[in-house]
Amino acid sequence: MSVTALPFAVLRFQYRIARIPLQVIEDKVVARWDSEAPARLFYERSLGALDATIGGVLGDSALAERGSALADRSDALARAAELDAEATAKRKAADAELKAKREKAVAEQQNARETAEEEVAEARDTAEQRKKQAAQDAAERTAAAKKNADEVAAQRKKSVDAAKRDEQAKIRAAEHQATAAAASKKKDADDKRSDAAATRAQADRVEKLADAEKQKRQAERADKS
**DSSP-derived secondary structure for 140-173:** GGHHHHHHHHHHHHHHHHHHHHHHHHHHHHHHHH
* Residue 93 identity: A
Q: What pLDDT, on the 0 to 100 scale, is given for residue 2? A: 43
Q: Which pTM was predicted?
A: 0.30
Three-class SS state of 37 = coil
Q: In this predicted structure, what is the pLDDT of residue 13?
A: 63
Q: What is the pLDDT of residues 69-97, one digit of tens each?
A: 777 777 777 677 667 667 777 778 767 77
pLDDT in tens, 167-224: 888 898 888 888 888 888 888 888 888 888 888 888 888 888 888 888 888 888 777 7
**Of residues 59, 98, 87, the one with CA closest to residue 176:** 98
Give the tens place of pLDDT for each residue, 21-66. 767 777 777 777 766 777 777 777 877 887 888 887 777 777 778 7
Per-residue confidence (pLDDT) for residue 77, from 0 to 100: 74
Residue 74's nearest CA partner among 54, 105, 50 is: 50
For the chain, how many structural domains are there in total?
1
CA angle 4, 7, 13 (to 5 degrees): 140
Among candidates 111, 127, 121, which has minimal Cα distance to 164? 111
**Could you list the residue range(s) of the whole structural domain that residue 70 is in?**
5-224
- How far, in Å, are 48, 61, 143, 213, 219 from residue 64 at the CA level? 8, 5, 105, 12, 19
